[in-house]
Structure 1
Amino acid sequence: MDKVRMEIEERRKKQARKIMEAIEVGMMKRLRAKEEEIEKIGKLNWALEERVKSLCVENQIWRDLAQTNEATANALRTNLEQVLAQVKDERTRGPGFLEDDADNENDDVNAGAGPMGAVLADDAQSCCGENDGLEAEAEAAVEVARGEWRSLATADRNDGRNCVVELETTTSNVVARCSSSTGGYNRWCRNCGKEESCVLLLPCRHLCLCTVCGSSLHTCPICKSTKNASVHVNMS
């Protein structure tokens, strides 16, 4: 009996140990799963925190931009109101009042300038006179070029010359020269050869480019000098 009792007791202990081992294994699996879940939740929480930080920074940037735009809009609104008020005031006072103000300001400036104002006025008049003389000289040069071009276009077809019109300006007159070479009459553009020459280059005064080439080239195709300006000559 004692032996049987001991065997039964031993079996109970073995079964109890197996049950405890099974429970322990199950609990370890559950604990491991919970730990993995906690780790995943921690990573997700960290990512969400970083996202919240970036959104806060972006929100601050947009807030600053909105404040800047609002300040700019307020400044523009103030300037617009001032301009409208000034225009309304000028319309209310009328054109006669504005003319009187302008005359008074001119009188004040002339009265306060003294000898220096007279000197500046003389300089301005002399400068205007020089500009008028240059403009008249340029117009005369263009007219001479046009006349010479027409006459050369008629005469040189029969003579078989290749003519290029050059203009020489002096202090008193404008002289047109024609340089001739053998070959057919060349009134076409010296760059493309497709269009009629109608652009006068300065300062070399060669009439040798068409409108398209005159706007694209910066050097004269004849003398290779740098172009400072150009004048379009109407040959019609």
Structure 2
Amino acid sequence: MAVEAHHLYLLPSQLLANRELTNTVENQTDFNPLYSTVITTTAAAAAAVCESNLSNDFLPRKRLRDHSFSPSFFSHDISFQFQQHQLELDWLIARHVDEVVAELGDRRKLFMKQILAVVEEKVARWVKAKEEEMMKMEKMNLVLEERVKSLCLENQIWRELAQSNEAAANALQSNIKQLLVSGGRGKIKEESNEVVGDAESCCEGESSRESARGLQLCKSCHGGESSVLLLPCRHLCICVDCCLGVDVCPVCNCKRIGSINVNLS
């Protein structure tokens, strides 16, 4: 290894310097004629040996060194491999990024579907509750409408009854005035009527009493006294005991809406 290192340090510039030195010695043979031949031959032999050694040893080793190391080819191979690795890394990173983006997109879609399902369920429950509430309100409105209709009808009946009672009161008031005006004439007529009544009662007997009593009997139980006026037909045909159990007038079969107790005593 030491010999090879020594030969490696022999550069062409040094060889050129040795050659120049030998040339100068050859040119100066006239300066020392005695030793000129010896020096010349010795220098020429040494130069020949050096050149032969350099040509035989240095050039093949240089070629082997250039062939073995070849920096340009080695750097080109390294750069190519580095580019290949860089491309592979870029491809792997891009693929991983695509997979992550796709997975995130799938998760986002699934999350949105879950949110929409929950929202739809809540909205459906809310709509169902509102529909049930609307149905209840409609039923209540129907009940209230029926109640209002019945109240209007009852109000109309009471109004008609009040008008009829007012007319009856006016008629009674006019009769009382007439009786007060007539005075004694009424007394004479009453006395004559009593006399005639006594005579008729003697003739008729008990038949008229039974017919009057039959008119005052209850048309439902036929036992009690008729003291309840049914509305709206205004028939005085049932007793107090039958008032709670009768929904239809026994005389005209009209539906009963109300009733009024009449005191005949």
Normalising TM by the smaller chain, what interval? Answer: 0.3 to 0.5
Structure number with higher strand proportion: 1
- Which is higher, the Rg of structure 1 or of structure 2? 2
Answer 1 or 2: which has greater helix percent: 2
Task: Determine which structure has greater relative contact order: mean sequence separation of CA pairs < 8 Å that are 6+ residues apart, divided by chain length.
Answer: 1
State the TM-score, normalized to the length of structure 1: 0.43
